[in-house]
A and B are shown apart, each in its own frame.
Chain A
């Protein structure tokens, strides 16, 4: 067991599980997020990423995108339960679709101490075609978007630069099916 949590580590719990990105259209009303999150927490399932934003002001609709790891059967059950919730218009698992596209956006703040670190960081930022949000003496903030995998890779590579301090915020994946 990890020291950071009283729960078993997800990797041990879900040996045969796959990553799922659920996309849910809901009425934008108080409590809707709690209803949805409750379906996961009540089963002891973790949500890896979550994104909620109003997407239709006229109809007052929000789209919730969430990433979770779980067995197919349980995820199918959760989708059936999501569809039962009164404020839910639709719920789909992007992983089940024949064709779907996803992206996420991330801001990454880097504190560096010397020119060598700066150059290495710059080179990586260039390879990954990040956008520089701001740059000051010893600090730079990059914006990177793309699949979660791409963001992960960039972060992995940054890890290889000794001595820099990295602070990360990620939107989590969002996606659409065709």
Chain B
């Protein structure tokens, strides 16, 4: 593009996206973004994916970002277009997903007049974005867009919104390429890429002293890029320390790796939670001591020295006070530590923690994820296990909705590499999974993308099946259909005397016919004998598929640390008589 040529604001947007190497944008047109849509019409570097509701666009951008490591981009109109993305922006903020959301706005002279489809977009989204802009001057537009991408991906990643009034989209200015823009350093809050020798030596000396260490790994390891996972694996293997991951950390250390003790937290494994409780050294790599992880705070890992790696300073000492912390980017920090270990020929005595491993293996032997699959009704755990087994040799990306099925997916599907598991953890957004699968499939056309869903969540963004059909995205929706909002029902059973208030999903659609009416493929498995066949059939169809798997309606997710209980007070099954003492206190928690 000739630099001396004046462009309108909409063309500048496109030019900046091109320079940011954006090739996919999710969106929905409307009055206040028509100039940008007009610019999209006449170009060919950018593929626009038309969603069916703006919420779909933002979750798709999240799925795209999570599965590719790139910034996800979406474009929506003013007013309702903008308010419909608020949930997704909050979701991305909670789960640290880099996205850039461009919204149209009414012309500047109409702002504040209650104009048609006007809303205070920057006001509404201020607390749910990492940063947002209202661009009133077209000459600032290039700079704003490039800075937005930089902010979205730097430090702890997150969503950035750019609100562009329609007259600014039409006003003329010159495009300013990225290389001509110098970002003011205080505005780009990157993590440090420096880690002190003292910190490294201190960590190593604690590892050498420890007889009961654990590595507790979260989504920060994922966000730091694939190298972070490699270095983590290397560090764990050098030291032989058991690795537990959070919901978002799944895949950072291979689920089938010999040091893996599974997921921890509310529905984590028995061994992971007891390891956390009893350890004498906890090394937190990119996790944030979320309440789903810690259980009762005053009983959380009482006897451990705690190290915390987190790029976000505000996560340090937020919920749990730690002894040592660093804000260094994880990939950088771990590789510096590994280099230090190898260049100083430091060796770790694995025998020192052999008793610890014996103890962990003893906990493992309780087989906390066991379930009994009868001959008729499909157990949801079995459905996931079979799905895992039958997709073992494929390049699979799993997304989920939110609820019981999400926890079963985390427990029974094995994730052996990073970026293959996309779920809404922090915000817990029902309706996340299918649009996220669309985004993931756009970013990874060769991958097998499966949305493990519950029927209630799936209904929340069901319109997006049309998007998948339109763009021939062969995503698979694997519904564990128990006709309940299962997690709500489970809590009602455990905490509210089995009074199932409004958690039965009445008047469900026939998902097979529903799929067909959307020109997708619908399949159904009603009992165990049909399960494998249905899964295989689903995998063999190169089109969007909705597989309606009828599962046991009364099954609950175990193990479980009830709210307000400690790690060592977990319930292993519904037959577990040991109800925690703090149940009444736990009732007020979420």
Report A's interface with B, CB cutoff 8 A: 27, 30-31, 34-35, 38, 42, 73, 76-77, 80-81, 83-89
* B126-A84 in contact (CB<8A): no
Which residues of B have CB within 8 Å of A86?
130-131, 151, 187, 189
Q: Are A87 and B187 in contact (CB under 8 A)?
A: yes
Please, which residues of chain A bring their CB within 8 A of the CB of B155? 84
Other contacts beyond A31-B134, A84-B155: 15, CB < 8 A:
A27-B187, A30-B134, A31-B122, A31-B123, A31-B126, A31-B132, A34-B123, A35-B126, A42-B127, A77-B314, A83-B189, A83-B313, A85-B131, A86-B130, A86-B131
A-B pair number, CB within 8 angstroms: 39
Contact residues in B for A88 (Cβ distance below 8 Å): 186
Q: In the complex, how many angstroms separate the beta carbon of A124 from the nearest chain B beta carbon?
A: 45
Complex: how many Å from CA A94 to CA B165?
Answer: 40
Q: Determine whether B317 belongs to the interface, using a CB cutoff of 8 Å to chain A.
A: yes
| Of listed A73, A84, A86, A87, residue having the most chain B CB within 10 A | A86
Is B312 interfacial (CB-CB < 8 Å)? yes
Q: B513 in the interface, Cβ–Cβ < 8 Å?
A: no
Q: Smallest Cβ distance from A26 to chain B, in angstroms?
A: 10
Cα–Cα distance between A84 and B318 once the two chains are bound (Å): 14
B126 adjacent to A38 (CB under 8 Å): yes
Residues of chain B with a CB closer than 8 A to A35's CB: 126
Given A30-B134, A88-B186, A81 contacting B126 (CB threshold 8 A) = no
Q: 20 A-B pairs, CB-CB below 8 angstroms? A: A30-B134, A31-B123, A34-B123, A34-B126, A35-B126, A38-B126, A42-B127, A76-B317, A80-B313, A80-B316, A81-B314, A83-B189, A83-B314, A84-B155, A84-B189, A84-B312, A86-B131, A86-B189, A87-B187, A88-B186
A32 CB to closest chain B CB (Å) equals 10
Q: Kindly list chain A residues whose C-beta atoms are within 8 Å of the C-beta of B313.
A: 80, 83-84
Chain A residue at minimum C-beta to C-beta distance from B123: A34
Within 465-517 of B, Cβ neighbours of A (below 8 Å) are at none
- Complex Cα distance A31/B404, Å? 40
Q: Which residue of B lies closest to A73 (CB)?
A: B317
Which of B131, B156, B186, B313 lies at the interface centre, i.e. has the most chain A CB atoms within 10 A of its CB?
A: B186
Q: How far is the CA of A77 from the CA of B313 in the complex (A)?
A: 9
Residues of B near A30 (CB, < 8 A) are 134
Residues of A within 8 A of B186 (CB): 88-89
> Contact between B318 and A77 (Cβ–Cβ < 8 Å)?
yes
The 9 nearest A-B residue pairs measured at CB: A80-B314, A86-B131, A80-B313, A89-B186, A86-B187, A81-B314, A38-B127, A84-B314, A42-B127
Shortest Cβ distance from A56 into chain B, in angstroms?
Answer: 13
Contact code string B138-159 (vs A, CB < 8 Å = 1, else 0):
0000000000000100011000
CA separation between A38 and B130, bound complex, in Å?
Answer: 13
CA distance A83 to B189 in the complex (A): 9
Q: Give Cα distance in the complex from A76 to B155, angstroms.
A: 20
Smallest beta-carbon distance B133→chain A, Å: 9
**Which chain B residues border A27 with CB–CB below 8 Å?**
187
B119 → A minimal CB distance (Å): 15
Cα of A78 to Cα of B296 in the assembled complex, Å: 23
Most chain A CB within a 10 A radius of its CB, from B156, B314, B316, B317: B314
B147 to chain A, nearest CB (A): 9
Q: List A contacts of B131 (CB < 8 A).
A: 85-86
> B123 — which chain A residues lie within 8 A by C-beta?
31, 34
**Contacting residues, chain A, for B312 (C-beta < 8 A):** 84
Residues of A within 8 A of B316 (CB): 80
Closest beta carbon of chain A to B290's beta carbon, Å: 15
- The distance from the CB of A42 to the nearest CB of chain B, in whole angstroms, is 6
Q: Which residues of A contact B317 (CB under 8 A)?
A: 73, 76
Bound form: Cα–Cα A83–B312 in Å: 10
Could you say which residues of chain B place their CB within 8 Å of the CB of A85? 131
Contacting residues, chain A, for B151 (C-beta < 8 A): 86
B130 vs chain A, min Cβ distance (A)? 7
Cα(A155)–Cα(B18), bound, Å: 63
Task: Kindly state the separation between the CA atoms of A27 and B183 in the bound complex, as whole angstroms.
Answer: 13
